[in-house]
């Protein structure tokens, strides 16, 4: 064999070894085929799972079809992958808290959020009054009801109408289309949300709400009633995964700094009092809502979302957690899964 040819082969082999050492041969490449396989496998594996129960403390949610099951994954460069039901809409519920919080960070800065609301996880259920009382309205978290209602009250605007415009706009910008309210869900919750009103008034007693408590609760209830399909949720997640730029519309929605402060709150409090278990098993910042939606962010790579209304005891979609965890494992994208050098 001529020397230069042998040399070429040696160089190639050397490069391959260097690649394997550097990148870890077992790392799954995020290409079309692998993503589609992961979504298909997850869908088939969990489609017949019948555990969990729709939320029913908001009466209208009990009427949502429990068989809705859709998965969407949107990469940071805007490729959209879907499986199952991508047309059914559910109310966004608690997932909206992430984007209103992001708006407050964007407008006022992270220190402001930390001072006016707090960012430690309460470790208590999402609608806990004890959580407010325990710290006298201090140190509430933007991703559970007391902190979320107070966060809503911080959105700029002279009146409720102006504030609502801002809230609807930020949620829509993340989704890349104009989101609108699911009226029956809004009316159902608004006529029955005495507990959230009590929380808002207790916050007022501690000077920890920054707008009229009745109107702030109403704004919060409206934002929770925004209708989304699974693709909307995945695009919202992908916008965070892509440093604040919506990868589909290419619009900058929030800054990288805002994303940097948003994701840790999701990691520590995104799944109510089950957040620790979720993070332990997936490593990803995520958020669920009692409407049955859930999204998770794989920073720099993709956003993933699932809609399946039956919930576990903490209020998180059962199937969604299983699907996302499965996809994370299959694609080996848990950020704490580290290839030794
Ligand atoms: N609107 C719901 C409530 O305040 C949201 C709850 C949730 O999704 O966690 O009860």
CATH of the domain at 163: 3.40.710.10
Structure tokens belonging to residue 51? 């555990």
Domain annotation covers residue 9? yes
- Write down the pLDDT at residue 270: 96
Same domain, 71 and 209: yes
Q: Which atom of ligand 1 is nearest to 57's Cα?
A: 10
Same domain, 9 and 150: no
For 161-170, which contacts have Cβ atoms below 8 Å and span 24 or more sequence positions?
163/211, 163/219, 164/219, 164/222, 166/103, 167/100, 167/103, 167/219, 167/222, 167/223, 168/223, 168/226, 170/99, 170/100, 170/102, 170/103, 170/253
Are 198 and 137 contacting, i.e. CB atoms less than 8 angstroms apart?
Answer: no
Domain annotation covers residue 65? yes
Q: Is 172 left (phi over 0), alpha (psi -120 to 50) or beta?
A: alpha
127 belongs to an annotated ligand binding site: no
Separation of alpha carbons 218 and 215, rounded Å: 5
Same domain, 232 and 172: yes
| CA Rg value for the chain | 21
130 belongs to an annotated ligand binding site: no
Tell me the pLDDT of the chain (341 aa) as tens digits: 454 454 555 555 555 444 444 444 455 789 999 999 999 999 999 999 999 999 999 999 999 999 999 999 999 999 999 999 999 999 999 999 999 999 999 999 999 999 999 999 887 788 888 888 888 888 899 999 999 999 999 999 999 999 999 999 999 999 999 999 999 999 999 999 999 999 999 999 999 999 999 999 999 999 999 999 999 999 999 999 999 999 999 999 999 999 999 999 999 999 988 999 999 999 999 999 999 999 999 999 999 999 999 999 989 999 999 999 999 999 999 999 998 99
* C-alpha dihedral (116, 117, 120, 125), degrees to nearest 10: 160
Q: Is 83 helix (H, G, I), strand (E, B) or coil?
A: strand
Instruction: State the alpha helices, DSSP H only, in the chain.
Output: 3-23, 32-46, 96-108, 110-116, 130-134, 145-153, 160-175, 183-190, 194-205, 213-224, 230-241, 256-269, 275-282, 318-331
Mutate to test the pocket of ligand 1, among 55, 62, 93, 217 (most ligand atoms within 8 A of CB): 93
Are 61 and 315 contacting, i.e. CB atoms less than 8 angstroms apart?
Answer: no
Separation of alpha carbons 233 and 89, rounded Å: 10
- Write down the pLDDT at residue 22: 45
Same domain, 105 and 13: no
Domain annotation covers residue 233? yes
Separation of alpha carbons 177 and 224, rounded Å: 17
Domain annotation covers residue 52? yes
Q: Would the CB of 290 count as within 6 Å of ligand 1?
A: yes
- Write down the pLDDT at residue 136: 82
Residue 13 lies in domain: 1-29
Same domain, 189 and 267: yes
Same domain, 17 and 130: no
Same domain, 327 and 249: yes
Name the domain count of the chain. 2
Q: Would the CB of 126 count as within 6 Å of ligand 1?
A: yes
For the whole model, what pTM was predicted? 0.91
- Distance from Cα 278 to the centre of ligand 1, integer Å: 19
Structure tokens belonging to residue 301? 């790579």
């Amino acid at each position: 064999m001529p020397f230069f040819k042998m040399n070429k082969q040696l160089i190639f082999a050397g490069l391959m070894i260097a690649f394997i050492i550097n990148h870890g041969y077992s790392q799954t490449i995020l290409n079309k085929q692998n993503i589609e396989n992961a979504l298909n496998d997850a869908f088939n594996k969990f489609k017949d799972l019948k555990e969990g129960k729709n939320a029913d403390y908001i009466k209208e949610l009990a009427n949502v079809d429990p068989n809705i099951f859709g998965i969407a994954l949107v990469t940071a460069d805007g490729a959209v992958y879907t499986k199952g039901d991508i047309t059914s809409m559910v109310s966004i519920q608690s997932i909206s808290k992430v984007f209103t919080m992001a708006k407050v960070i964007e407008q006022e800065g992270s220190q402001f959020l930390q001072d006016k609301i707090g960012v430690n996880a309460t470790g208590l259920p999402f609608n806990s009054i004890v959580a407010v009382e325990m710290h006298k309205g201090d140190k509430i978290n933007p991703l559970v009801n007391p902190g979320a209602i107070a966060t809503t009250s911080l959105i700029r605007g002279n009146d409720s109408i102006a504030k609502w415009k801002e809230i609807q706009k930020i949620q829509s910008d993340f989704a890349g289309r104009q989101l609108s309210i699911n009226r029956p869900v809004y009316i159902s919750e608004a006529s029955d949300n005495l507990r959230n009103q009590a929380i808002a008034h207790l916050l007022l007693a501690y000077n920890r709400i920054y707008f009229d408590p009745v109107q702030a609760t109403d704004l919060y209830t409206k934002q929770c009633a925004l209708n989304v399909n699974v693709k909307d949720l995945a695009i919202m997640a992908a916008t965070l995964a892509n440093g604040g730029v919506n990868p589909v519309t290419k619009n900058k929605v929030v800054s990288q700094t805002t994303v940097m402060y948003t994701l840790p709150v999701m990691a520590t409090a995104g799944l109510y009092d089950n957040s620790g278990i979720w993070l332990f098993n997936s490593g990803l910042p995520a958020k669920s809502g009692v409407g049955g939606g859930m999204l998770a962010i794989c920073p720099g790579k993709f956003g993933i979302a699932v809609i399946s209304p039956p919930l576990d005891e903490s209020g998180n979609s059962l199937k969604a957690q299983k699907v996302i965890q499965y996809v994370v494992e299959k694609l080996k994208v848990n950020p704490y899964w580290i290839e030794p050098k």
